[in-house]
C-alpha cells in the first residue's frame, strides 16, 4: 500500500517543463491512493471500519443527490469522529455542532454573510488587494519580470481581509489572534487515531496541554478585543456575534464561549480555503494565457474561471456527515451512527457527470449551471458554506486586480504537487513569473 502511494506521488509531483506540459489535474492517486484503490475494487459505494467506527464512502450520484437534498438537522449532522481531538480548535462552534445548537448558530451567523453585508465589505477587500498588488509592482519595477512564489502574500491578503471583516479597527490584534489559531490548528492537526478509538483520549498528553494553553491565550485575546470595543457597533462580525450571543444565550461565560468558538470557526473556515483557491486559480490562469485575456475583457468570465478552479482543486476535499438516525440515501440503507464520506474531487472528475473532458481545465462548462449533486466545492445541503458569497467576492477582487496589472506565466521552477494538509494545497507553493502591463505609477 505504502509503495502504491509513493508511486502515485511520483507521477503527480512533476516539474512542469516550462510551458505547463505534464501537469495532471487529477491528484486523486497521489492524495487519496487507498480510497482510489478501494473505489476501483468495490465500486462507488463501499464501507469500512476503523475500530468501532463505520465509514460509508460514496460517490454514487443517487446517494450524493439525496445527501444534498436532506435538510433536516435531525437526520444528518457533522461527524463526531475527531471531535475530542479537534475540540481546542473548533470548540462548540458552527462547524462541528449538530441539532439545535447548530440551528441556532447558523440562524445567528448567516445574516452576517447575506449579499448586502458582503457588498459592504468589498471596499475593505479592495484595500487589502491593492496593498498586495502595489508591493508586487514595486518588486517588478526595475527587473521587468518577477519570479515569485505567491502563496505567503496571498495568505497575508486572506488573513488581512478576514481580520478586518471580523475585528474591524482591531484587525491588527485580530491578525495576531489568527496567527495563534493557526498554531493551534497545527497542534491539533496531528491525528491520534489510537486516542480517538480508546478512552485514552481523556488522558492529558503533551500535545493536549499545548493545545489547551494556546486555546486559553486565544480566548483571552479575543475577549480583550471584545472589551476594548466596549460594545460599540462597528459593524464587524465580532460585534454582530456578540449581539447575537447576548440576545440568545444571555451574558456571561456562555456568550463568551459562543463568540470565542465561532471566531475560531470563521477563521478556520475562511482563511486557508480562500488563500489556497486563489493560489490554484493563479496557477491555472498562468497555464492558460487565453483565459487571462478573456477575463480582462469580460468580468463574467472570471466567475467561470474561479468555478472551474474549485471544480479541479476543491479546498474542502471531502463532504463528511454522520447519520444521526437510520436513513436511506439513493436507495442505500445507512444505519444511525455511520460516518458518510463523499470525496469531492471524485464527484468533480466524474466523466458521467462532466463529460469526457472532465479532467481538463475548461471554464466554458460553467456557462450553464451544473447539476446540484455534481458540484460540491462549498459542500452540500443544509450545511453548505456560509461564506461562499464572501469568498467569491474576495477571490474576484484579488484576481481582477492582479490580472489588471500583470501578465502571469508559470515559472520554470514550479513543481506540481497537490498535498493534503486539512485542505488540498500546492506542496511547494505556486511559483509564477509576473510581468507588469502598465507603468508602475499607473492607476490601480
Concatenated DSSP letters of 368-392:
SPPPGGG--TT--GGG--TTHHHHH
- 67 vs 188, beta carbon nearer ligand HEM: 67
- 316 vs 429, beta carbon nearer ligand HEM: 316
Among 70, 95, 133, 329, binds ligand HEM (CB under 6 A): 95
How near is the Cβ of 64 to ligand HEM at its closest, in Å?
A: 11
Stretch of 144-152, 202-210, 265-273, 354-362 contacting ligand HEM, by CB under 6 A: 265-273
Residues 6+ apart with CB under 8 A from 138: 440
Residue 419 class from Cβ within 10 Å (0-12 exposed, 13-18 middle, 19+ buried)? middle
- 185 vs 274, beta carbon nearer ligand HEM: 274
Near ligand HEM in 196-255, by CB under 6 A: none
Near ligand HEM in 273-332, by CB under 6 A: 273-274, 277, 315-316, 319
Residue 119 class from Cβ within 10 Å (0-12 exposed, 13-18 middle, 19+ buried)? exposed
How near is the Cβ of 417 to ligand HEM at its closest, in Å?
A: 20
How near is the Cβ of 168 to ligand HEM at its closest, in Å?
A: 14
How near is the Cβ of 258 to ligand HEM at its closest, in Å?
A: 14
Q: Residue 429: left if φ>0, alpha if ψ -120 to 50, beta else—which one?
A: left
Quick one: which of 349, 348, 327, 324 has its CA closest to 337?
324
| Residue 341 interacts with ligand HEM (CB under 6 A): yes or no | no
Max Cα separation, the chain? 65
The CA-atom distances, in angstroms, between 193 and each of 35, 422, 440 are 18, 16, 53
CA 187/CA 211 separation, integer angstroms: 6
Stretch of 21-29, 69-77, 371-379, 414-422 contacting ligand HEM, by CB under 6 A: 371-379
Angle (CA) 190 271 101, round 5°: 75
How near is the Cβ of 254 to ligand HEM at its closest, in Å?
A: 20
- 208 vs 277, beta carbon nearer ligand HEM: 277
Among 108, 181, 269, 393, binds ligand HEM (CB under 6 A): 269
- 343 vs 379, beta carbon nearer ligand HEM: 379
Near ligand HEM in 100-139, by CB under 6 A: 106
CA 347/CA 318 separation, integer angstroms: 10
Residues 6+ apart with CB under 8 A from 60: 44, 45, 330, 332
Near ligand HEM in 374-413, by CB under 6 A: 377-380, 383-387, 390-391
Residue ranges binding ligand HEM (CB under 6 A): 94-95, 106, 162, 265-266, 269-270, 273-274, 277, 315-316, 319, 377-380, 383-387, 390-391
Amino acid at each position: 500500500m505504502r509503495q502504491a502511494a509513493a508511486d502515485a506521488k511520483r507521477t503527480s509531483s512533476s516539474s512542469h517543463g516550462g510551458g505547463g506540459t505534464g501537469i495532471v489535474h487529477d491528484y486523486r492517486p497521489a492524495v487519496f491512493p487507498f480510497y482510489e484503490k478501494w473505489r476501483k475494487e468495490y465500486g462507488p459505494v463501499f464501507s469500512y471500519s476503523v475500530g468501532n467506527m463505520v465509514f460509508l464512502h460514496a460517490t454514487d450520484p443517487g446517494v450524493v443527490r439525496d445527501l444534498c437534498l436532506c435538510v433536516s438537522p435531525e437526520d444528518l449532522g457533522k461527524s463526531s469522529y475527531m471531535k475530542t481531538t479537534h475540540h481546542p480548535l473548533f470548540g462548540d462552534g458552527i462547524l462541528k455542532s449538530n441539532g439545535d445548537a447548530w440551528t441556532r448558530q447558523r440562524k445567528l451567523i448567516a445574516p452576517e454573510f447575506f449579499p448586502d453585508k458582503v457588498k459592504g465589505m468589498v471596499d475593505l477587500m479592495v484595500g487589502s488587494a491593492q496593498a498586495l498588488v502595489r508591493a508586487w509592482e514595486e518588486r517588478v519595477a526595475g527587473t521587468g519580470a518577477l519570479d515569485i512564489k505567491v502563496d505567503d502574500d496571498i495568505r497575508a491578503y486572506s488573513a488581512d481581509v478576514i481580520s478586518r471583516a471580523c475585528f474591524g479597527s482591531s484587525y491588527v490584534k485580530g491578525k495576531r489572534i489568527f496567527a495563534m489559531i493557526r498554531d493551534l490548528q497545527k497542534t491539533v492537526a496531528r491525528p491520534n487515531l489510537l486516542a480517538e478509538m480508546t478512552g485514552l483520549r481523556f488522558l492529558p498528553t503533551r500535545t493536549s496541554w499545548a493545545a489547551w494553553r494556546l486555546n486559553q491565550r486565544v480566548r483571552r485575546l479575543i475577549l480583550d478585543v471584545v472589551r476594548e470595543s466596549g460594545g460599540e457597533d462597528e459593524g464587524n462580525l465580532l460585534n454582530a456575534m456578540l449581539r447575537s450571543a447576548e440576545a440568545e444565550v444571555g451574558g456571561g461565560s456562555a456568550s463568551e464561549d459562543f463568540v470565542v468558538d465561532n471566531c475560531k470557526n470563521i477563521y478556520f473556515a475562511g482563511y486557508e480555503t480562500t488563500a489556497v483557491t486563489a493560489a490554484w486559480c493563479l496557477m491555472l490562469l498562468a497555464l492558460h494565457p487565453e483565459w487571462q485575456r478573456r477575463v480582462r475583457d469580460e468580468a463574467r468570465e472570471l466567475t467561470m474561471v474561479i468555478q472551474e478552479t474549485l471544480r479541479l482543486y476543491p479546498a474542502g476535499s471531502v463532504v463528511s456527515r454522520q447519520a444521526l438516525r437510520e436513513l436511506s440515501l439513493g436507495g442505500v440503507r445507512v444505519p444511525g451512527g455511520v460516518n458518510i464520506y463523499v470525496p469531492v474531487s471524485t464527484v468533480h472528475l466524474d466523466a458521467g457527470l462532466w463529460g469526457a473532458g472532465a479532467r481538463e481545465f475548461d471554464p466554458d462548462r460553467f456557462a450553464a449551471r451544473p447539476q446540484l449533486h455534481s458540484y460540491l466545492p462549498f459542500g452540500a445541503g443544509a450545511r453548505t458554506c456560509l461564506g461562499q458569497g464572501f469568498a467569491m467576492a474576495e477571490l474576484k477582487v484579488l484576481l481582477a486586480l492582479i490580472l489588471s496589472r500583470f501578465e502571469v506565466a508559470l515559472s520554470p521552477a514550479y513543481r506540481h504537487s497537490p498535498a493534503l494538509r486539512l485542505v488540498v494545497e500546492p506542496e511547494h507553493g505556486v511559483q509564477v513569473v509576473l510581468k507588469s502591463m502598465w507603468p508602475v505609477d499607473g492607476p490601480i
